């Protein structure tokens, strides 16, 4: 009896694809598995469990070629996992990153005794942060703002797919302009890359409007932060994503706006999230 009966060349195909993709990616094995699963119409778990019984589908080679040419896996498969949810993504939205889960962790740590009821997501993109939060707190309602109509359509589709559309509203907007009321939780992942930074990898395929923010990468923080004090509920919080070297600059903006600030690190140990709360007194 052969141990690889019915293997269909699956193990070899994954190995060969991993080797090719390694020129374009830091996670070539994962990428190969995600592309194979996509080509088969299966989850990655199902692929790994049933590997021996599956045949390599004809479309897999073309998907690998696209990845080798630099296209992000999430744009090829059309999906990306974030927190506990899976989101549809297109080149009109930033691909949700594990780093940004630091913002959700910050919110979960803040709301222990009570749950947030109102949530605002500025620059919602795919809706990742808002929808992750809404899935965490079943009684919460949320508003997602984005300047990009294409992004809003992606976010709305995600809300519907996840059964969260009844609690999520998406609206076009210019950061906090025209938004009234106060929110228990405000989530913000603005563009923060300095204009002249040389980039490589997935970001080359992502929307510039989600990435770049002027000479120092601080332009959007300067526009958003002055509005936060009127938007945060008294015991609420804002979780704001920052670049690894922006803690001091963005903390200073938040301090000038009358907010108390604390920094949290991502899994790589970089400063990634500032938690802003109302200063007492
Ligand atoms: N975290 C992203 C990157 O460095 C940038 C996202 C952003 O500017 N908000 O690739």
Q: How many whole angstroms from 146 Cα to the centroid of ligand 1?
A: 16
Q: Quick one: 195 and 111 in the same domain? A: yes
Q: How many whole angstroms from 202 Cα to the centroid of ligand 1?
A: 10
- The DSSP-derived string for the chain is --TTTT-TTHHHHHHHHHHHHTTT-S-HHHHHHHHHHHHHT--HHHHHHHGGG----TTHHHHHHHHHTT--HHHHHSEEEETTEEEE--TTSPPP-GGGHHHHHHHHHH-SSS---EEEEET-TTTHHHHHHHHH-TT-EEEEEES-HHHHHHHHHHHHHTT-GGGEEEEE-STTTT--S-EEEEEE----B-TT----GGGGGS-GGGTB-TTTS-HHHHHHHHHHHHHEEEEEEEEEE--TT-HHHHHHHHHHTTEEEEEEE-TTS-EEEEEEEEPP-
Q: Is the CB of 222 under 6 A from ligand 1?
A: no
| Atom from ligand 1 closest to the CA of residue 241 | 9
Q: How many whole angstroms from 259 Cα to the centroid of ligand 1?
A: 24
How many domains does the structure of the chain reveal? Answer: 2
With respect to residue 84, please indicate whether it lies within any of the assigned structural domains.
Answer: no
Interface predicted TM-score of the whole assembly (ipTM), two decimals: 0.91
CATH number, position 188: 3.40.50.150
Please enumerate, by residue number, every residue annotated as part of a binding site.
123-127, 146, 175, 189-192
Please enumerate, by residue number, every residue annotated as part of a binding site for substrate.
189-192
Average pLDDT, the chain: 95
Q: For residue range 92-113, list pLDDT tens digits in order.
A: 999 999 999 999 999 999 999 9
Q: Quick one: 60 and 112 in the same domain? A: no
- For residue 281, the model assigns a pLDDT of 54
Q: Say what the pTM is.
A: 0.94
Q: Quick one: 172 and 262 in the same domain? A: yes
- For residue 196, the model assigns a pLDDT of 87
Tell me which of 72, 94, 124 to substitute to probe ligand 1's pocket, judged by most ligand atoms within 8 Å of the beta carbon. 94
Q: Quick one: 50 and 98 in the same domain? A: no
- For residue 7, the model assigns a pLDDT of 55
Residue nearest to atom 2 of ligand 1 (CA): 211
CATH number, position 29: 1.10.8
| Atom from ligand 1 closest to the CA of residue 193 | 8
| Atom from ligand 1 closest to the CA of residue 206 | 10
Q: How many whole angstroms from 114 Cα to the centroid of ligand 1?
A: 31
Q: For residue range 190-236, list pLDDT tens digits in order.
A: 999 999 888 889 999 999 999 999 999 999 999 999 999 999 999 99
Q: For residue range 38-62, list pLDDT tens digits in order.
A: 999 999 999 999 999 999 999 999 9
Report whether pLDDT(272) > 90.
yes
Range of the domain at 115: 90-278
Q: Is the CB of 203 under 6 A from ligand 1?
A: yes
Q: Is the CB of 191 under 6 A from ligand 1?
A: yes
- For residue 4, the model assigns a pLDDT of 46
Q: Is the CB of 211 under 6 A from ligand 1?
A: yes
Q: Quick one: 134 and 255 in the same domain? A: yes
């Amino acid at each position: 009896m052969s141990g690889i009966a019915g293997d269909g060349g699956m193990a070899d195909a994954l190995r060969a694809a991993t080797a090719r993709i390694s020129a374009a990616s830091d996670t070539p094995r994962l990428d190969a598995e995600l592309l194979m699963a996509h080509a088969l119409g299966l989850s990655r778990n199902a692929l790994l469990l049933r590997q021996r019984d599956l045949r390599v589908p004809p479309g897999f080679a073309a998907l690998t070629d696209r990845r080798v040419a630099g296209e992000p896996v999430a744009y090829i498969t059309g999906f990306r996992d974030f927190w506990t949810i899976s989101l549809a993504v297109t080149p009109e939205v930033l691909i949700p990153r594990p780093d940004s889960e630091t913002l959700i962790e910050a919110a979960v740590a803040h709301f222990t005794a009570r749950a947030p009821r109102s949530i605002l997501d500025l620059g919602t993109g795919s809706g990742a942060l808002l929808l992750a939060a809404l899935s965490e707190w079943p009684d919460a309602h949320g508003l997602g703002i984005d300047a990009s109509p294409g992004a809003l359509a992606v976010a709305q589709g995600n809300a519907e797919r996840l059964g969260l559309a009844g609690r999520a509203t998406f609206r076009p907007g210019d950061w906090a302009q025209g938004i009234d009321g106060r929110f228990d939780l405000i989530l913000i992942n603005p563009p923060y890359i300095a204009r002249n930074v040389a980039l490589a990898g997935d970001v080359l395929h992502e929307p510039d409007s989600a990435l770049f923010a002027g000479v120092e990468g601080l332009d959007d923080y300067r526009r958003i932060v002055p509005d936060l004090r009127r938007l945060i509920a008294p015991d609420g919080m804002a979780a704001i994503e920052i670049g690894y070297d922006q803690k001091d600059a963005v903390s200073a903006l938040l301090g000038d706006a009358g907010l108390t600030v604390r920094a949290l690190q991502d899994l790589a140990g970089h400063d990634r999230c500032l938690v802003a709360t109302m200063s007492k007194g």
